[in-house]
Amino acid sequence: MKPIFKWILGIVAFILLALAGGIWYFSNKWKPLLDTKIKQLVSQATDNLYTIKYDDIHVNLLLGNITIDNLHLVSDSSIYKKLELVKKAPDNRFEISINRLKIKSFGIRRVLMDKELFLNDITVERPTIHVINEVHRYNDTVSRGPKKPLYEKIKDNLKKIQVRAVNLNDIDFKYTQVQKGVYQDFEVKKVKVRIDDVLIDSTSEHDRQRFYHTKMIDIEVPGFTYKTPDGFYKVNFDQLKINSKNRNVLLTKVAYQPTLNKAAYYRKKGEGGSYMVLKMDTLLLTGFNFAELSRDKKIYAQNARLKNGSLSIYSDKHYKSPPTSQIGNAPHMKLMQMSTRLGIDSLILDNIGIAYSEMSDEYSQIGTITFDHTYGTILNVTNDSTKLLKQKLMRANLSSNFMNAGKLSTNFVFDMTSKVGAYTYKGTLGKMDLTVVNKMIRPLLNVEVKSGNLSQITFDIWANDYRSKGTFKMDYDDLKVNILSEAGDDGRREKKGLLSFMINQVLFNPGNPDLYGKYTVGHINKRRDPNHPFFKAMWQTLLVGIKQCVGLGPEREAKLMNTAGKVEKVVGGISKAKKMISSIFKKHKTPEELLKEEKEDEAKEAAKIEEKRKRDREKAEKELEKEGTGN
């Protein structure tokens, strides 16, 4: 190699070494400046509530990269207590730990000279986020004044902050709710978050296209399970996806269900009430207003869709609860009582199955009523007073298959501003074989429909918390019922022939119109039992119309009960007479002895019935225990 090239290579090597040394020197000299700036910014932006700590910060001026090791953002408990005393403490506190924070294209000169921070990319490795929620009532009241924007807190140090992308990988998230000194936790692992185009300057606070100063936040949460504080229920889902740019919130395989099977649930609870299982393949919110959520804690969305789900409610009548007033507990009144402001333009039900089951305390059998394949739309689902000024009515148009047989169409109108919970409902039920209702009435009433053809039911009801009024029409023919005996040890029930004959021939109309062409319309004017919940009150109202249409008005119903009692007495009297005559011929007994023997027999029979009911109950509980939780 010629000497000239040696000199050139030597000069280049010297320049590179000098440049590397200069970068190393300035990187190390600027580290204290960066350290001071970062801590100062965090303190000012959080009103001294938070401090930031880390093990080391690595600066590469040539590439404009910064790496921070083992970073911790912690809240100062003493500052928080002072904020509570002056009623300025936030409801949420954060504890954040990050294994490594990588920042690319960090323009240090631009920060120090122009007071503008531009970052190309931020990657956060294995962050742990702990949110501590402690609600303060003063945060739910009218604002004490305009909140200081984030830009106002940093403008003395920076005029602008812009980040093109932020990636948070495998977040371990913990949420702690504090209520009256009691801590309730739930955790989610492996959460992924991507944030695009973060901008904090004098204009970004008012940019309606941004959510928390960002163009997009995309969150993906894997499945998790949360148990309610009382331990009776759990909530779980397979996946949660949130995208602020598309304004969508998606939940898949959502479930709210008990942690115990039915038998164990009621034994542990020790009282009555509902055993509820709610499952949904998809819950999708579209047109979600993230700005309202962040600014005013309001949940607003254009549409909510519940797809391919089921709601199952079960009640065991062996367990009693003290009667409690249900006044004010109608669905629309409960919605108005929610502390969270809610506004959903339309709630769409897409193939939802609804079932109510009840175990009879007398027969230890389960009767079930179902509304299968329910579709429909509920409009104006809101408790926001500003929205209700424009439209105070919530409307629901629903269709389903009653007992998977007859087509049921209903229309509800709820007056959201009514102090007495006013609402109306009307609908039609199409053709069906009436014997399908045996699944409901046979286990609970020991009655079955032998035959019956329904042509149509129509009803139109006005109601509130205290009374229901309206009309009920039922077109049917060939109605016959059987009154059944209690099930024997083999589970079979025999028809009470004489009693069934009397009821069918004397009391029930076999059709409407009847054999003489007379058409009966049910006219309803019923006072509500205040202890009946909303849907039971609706059923009791419709039952009044059904009874009138089949000819079982109040007078006939009293006659039915009287006839049933007389027939039972006649049958029982014949049996006793046979036994008495047999006893007389077998052996002469005094009237006193016969009376004593009759009472003893009655006591034995009552004990036998009670013992059988106990066995039936135990058998039913064993069957329930075989079921999986939530079935």
Q: CA-to-CA distance for 257 and 276, rounded, in angstroms?
A: 6
Task: Answer whether 307's CB lies under 8 Å from 267's CB.
Answer: no
76-94: buried (b, 16+ CB within 10 Å) or exposed (e) per residue? beebbeebeeeeebbeebe
Task: Answer whether 576's CB lies under 8 Å from 590's CB.
Answer: no
Residue 547 has what pLDDT?
87
Query: Which structure tokens are listed for 427?
Result: 């609908």
Q: CA-to-CA distance for 51 and 80, rounded, in angstroms?
A: 12
The sign of the CA dihedral 473, 539, 424, 305 is: negative
Per-residue model confidence as pLDDT tens digits over 304-359: 999 999 999 998 888 888 888 999 999 999 999 998 899 999 999 999 999 998 88
The DSSP code sequence of 298-353 is: EEEEEEEEEEEEEEEEEEETTS-------TT-SHHHHHHH-SSEEEEEEEEEEEEE
Residue 309 has what pLDDT?
95
Q: Which of 476, 486, 473, 488 is nearest to 449 (CA)?
A: 476
Rounded to the nearest 10 degrees, the angle between the axes of helix 554-586 and helix 591-626 is 120
Residue 423 has what pLDDT?
97
Of the CA atoms within 13 Å of residue 390, those in its CB half-sphere come to 8
Of the CA atoms within 13 Å of residue 415, those in its CB half-sphere come to 12
Q: CA-to-CA distance for 452 and 279, rounded, in angstroms?
A: 35
Residue 434 has what pLDDT?
93
Residue 91 has what pLDDT?
82
Residue 57: strand pairing partners: 68
The DSSP code sequence of 48-104 is: TSEEEE-SEEEEETTTTEEEEEEEEEEE-HHHHHHHHHTT---SEEEEEEEEEEEEE
CA–centroid distance for 298 within its chain: 18
Residue 590 has what pLDDT?
59
Task: Answer whether 441's CB lies under 8 Å from 367's CB.
Answer: yes
DSSP 8-state code for residue 259: S
Residues of the chain scoring pLDDT < 70: 1-31, 33-34, 61-62, 106-114, 140-148, 150-151, 153, 486-495, 497, 553-631
The sign of the CA dihedral 307, 369, 378, 455 is: positive
176-199: buried (b, 16+ CB within 10 Å) or exposed (e) per residue? beeeeeeeeeeebeebebebeebb
Provide the whole-model pTM.
Answer: 0.76
Reported as type and span, the H/E element at residue 258 is: strand 248-258
